[in-house]
Structure 1
């Protein structure tokens, strides 16, 4: 398992609005599960964007926290069309001239898990992964 660091309010939008695109300057060969880590940096300019407002951005929401894992997802594909030919069909969340890491199965955690992150795609500690898995298993047993 890997983790991706995403600035708020974009991490919030991935979870609450189903934003399945993580815009990056480079592609990745990695496919599979990732922890969505809300980094300590906040994109203040994005907080008033129409996409973020439509996502229901609420700084008081636990998923709007910073410095914590807020969800799990899976990188299922990477679209580089916007970089190669200037256009793609990845939707409104896709930034021009970026690689679009397509996420699937974005699942919010019942509560954020505070942790130290790293930039980009990184390998979380076994302790962090274990804590997230235990939390999800516990939540599933209560609902199932």
Structure 2
């Protein structure tokens, strides 16, 4: 399993299913599961972009956290149609940045709460086994029902 670090608000948009790509400077041959890690930096200029506003960006959302894994996704394909060409167009939508590779993401699964972790900008990185175990446990852990909590003594 691999991970990618993405600045907010883009990481939030991926986790909430609004954004199905990650803009990257390099392509990848990797296809498979990635942890979506929210980087420690916010791209403040992006918070005012129309697609971010339309998606309902909310800095109070738990998945707007910084320095944490907030979702799991699958890298399904990489669009290289626009890489290196500012005038080229692809079908990756309004989130696609011209001149970069668009890593297409599917099977998005947001986590119920962020898992704090150090990340690394600039492509794929390998998460520690303990982080992967924590994410897997959260994905298979059944949700707690409020009635069960109220009956405990």
**TM-score (ref. length: structure 1):** 0.93
Contact 1:73 1:106 (C-alpha < 8 Å) held by counterparts: yes
Q: Paired residues, what number? A: 142
Question: Which 4+ stretches in 1 moved above 4 angstroms?
Answer: none
Matched, 1:127 2:127: no
Q: How does 1:6-17 map to 2 (within 5 A)?
A: 6-17=6-17
Contact 2:22 2:103 (C-alpha < 8 Å) held by counterparts: yes
Please list every run of 5 or more consecutive structure 1 residues that lacks an aligned counterpart in the other structure: none
Q: What is the CA–CA distance in structure 2 between the aligned matches of 1:55 and 1:121, rounded to whole Å?
A: 26
The two structures, once aligned, show a CA RMSD in angstroms of 1.6
Please list every run of 5 or more consecutive structure 2 residues that lacks an aligned counterpart in the other structure: 146-153
Q: What is the CA–CA distance in structure 1 between the aligned matches of 2:13 and 2:31, rounded to whole Å?
A: 21
Point out the structure with max Rg over C-alpha: 2
Deviations 1:61-102 (A, max 9, x none): 000000000000000000000126612111111111110000
Q: What is the CA–CA distance in structure 2 between the aligned matches of 1:123 and 1:62, rounded to whole Å?
A: 24
Q: What is the CA–CA distance in structure 2 between the aligned matches of 1:98 and 1:30, rounded to whole Å?
A: 17
